[in-house]
Amino acid sequence: MAAADTIPIIDLGPYLAGEPGALQEAGAQLRHALTEIGFYFIVNHGIPRAPISEAFRQAARFHALPIDQKMKVRIDKHNVGYLPMKGDTLRTSVVQTVTRPNLNEAFFLARDLGPDHPDVVADKRFRSANQWPANLPGFRESVIGYCDALEALVKKLVRLYAVALDLPPLWFDAAFEDFQYKLRMTHYPPQEATTDDDFGIAPHTDTSFLTVLAPNQVPGLSIRSQSGQWIDAPAIPDAFVVNGGQLLLRWTNDRFLATPHRAINRSGGERYALAFFCDAHIDWPIAAVPTCVGPDKPPRYPTTYYTDYMVAYQKRTYDLLQQAAE
């Protein structure tokens, strides 16, 4: 494994192939990554290049639509739909006082629930039907296919998290059955030289248990190491980037890291990013696992639920929703 100022690379091939000892070895590597730097790459993850490339193509198709068409599916209280350019300000950042909105636009989608799903009928928060753009054939099918592939991968990843936390490998399986996810398809326009508080997305930590970021040939992501230095994430062919967020802190009682990161598009061209935010089932209690608490390690956070946490986060972050509530 690399030093604490380098993003580690975890080869999932042996684990996914069921090789003896591979689960424990990958779990140990993950433990190192999440206690030293909070980010890691995964290679040989089993997802072909074609659906990844297609998801990027669909992101570009959506963001090329006229603004009036995108605003017809603007983001709602369930956090699905279109977030306009400069539509969010990361006031929740724990590493920088952020006052200016992010220079990006995004389309959010969640698990694709049908209109007759009980949670949709009940208007359960964050369990709505998605908002899909009209006149964009193939968009929905391609994006759902990408999410399905990532969902299957995440269900395998959480077993590594269990082993890394000295828990039985299947510990998180029930919590991540029908787990809560959001795909953020972000467009970052090119940025010239900026002031100290102008970002494509400002320094922040994610909210999620884990985030899977698609391989990206256009640079822009930087992470802050434990020494306080900013590290530019390299582009590794076909490698996903994975990190933890604020809810991972709660699950692990701060044993694993939620590392600040930011994005600035200085490439001179358009940049798109596909972030897949993953959390346990929406009704699963979020509390520190047994191996992270004890007589000398009391819980640092009260038990919470996804909905309660995300309602508070959304109110502070998404400017468009604040305006609609006023």
Q: Residue 45 maps to which CATH number?
A: 2.60.120.330
Is position 1 within any domain? no
Is position 216 within any domain? yes
Is position 3 within any domain? no
Cα separation, 170 vs 153, whole angstroms: 15
Q: Per-residue confidence at 321, pLDDT binned at 50, 70, 90?
A: very low
Q: Is 292 exposed, middle or buried (0-12, 13-18, 19+ CB in 10 A)?
A: buried
For residue 204, the cross-strand partners are 261
Q: Per-residue confidence at 94, pLDDT binned at 50, 70, 90?
A: low
Q: What is the mean pLDDT of residues 153-162?
A: 98
> In terms of residue numbers, what domain contains 175?
9-325
For residue 240, the cross-strand partners are 42
Cα separation, 259 vs 256, whole angstroms: 9
Please state which of the ranges 10-19, 187-196, 258-267 shows the lowest mean pLDDT. Answer: 187-196
Is position 266 within any domain? yes
Whats the size of the chain, residue-wise? 326
Cα separation, 326 vs 321, whole angstroms: 9
CA distance to 44, 152, 171, 281, per residue, from 251 (Å): 27, 21, 12, 14
Is position 136 within any domain? yes
Q: What is the mean pLDDT of residues 259-273?
A: 94
Which token pair is 219? 């640079």
3-state helix, strand, coil in the chain (%, to 5): 30, 20, 50
Domain count across the chain:
1
Is position 320 within any domain? yes
Residue bearing the bigger pLDDT, 137 or 325: 137
Q: Decide if 314 contacts 277 (C-beta within 8 A).
A: no
For residue 211, the cross-strand partners are 243, 277
Is position 4 within any domain? no
Q: Per-residue confidence at 89, pLDDT binned at 50, 70, 90?
A: low
Is position 249 within any domain? yes
Q: Decide if 225 contacts 5 (C-beta within 8 A).
A: yes
Q: What is the mean pLDDT of residues 75-85?
A: 94
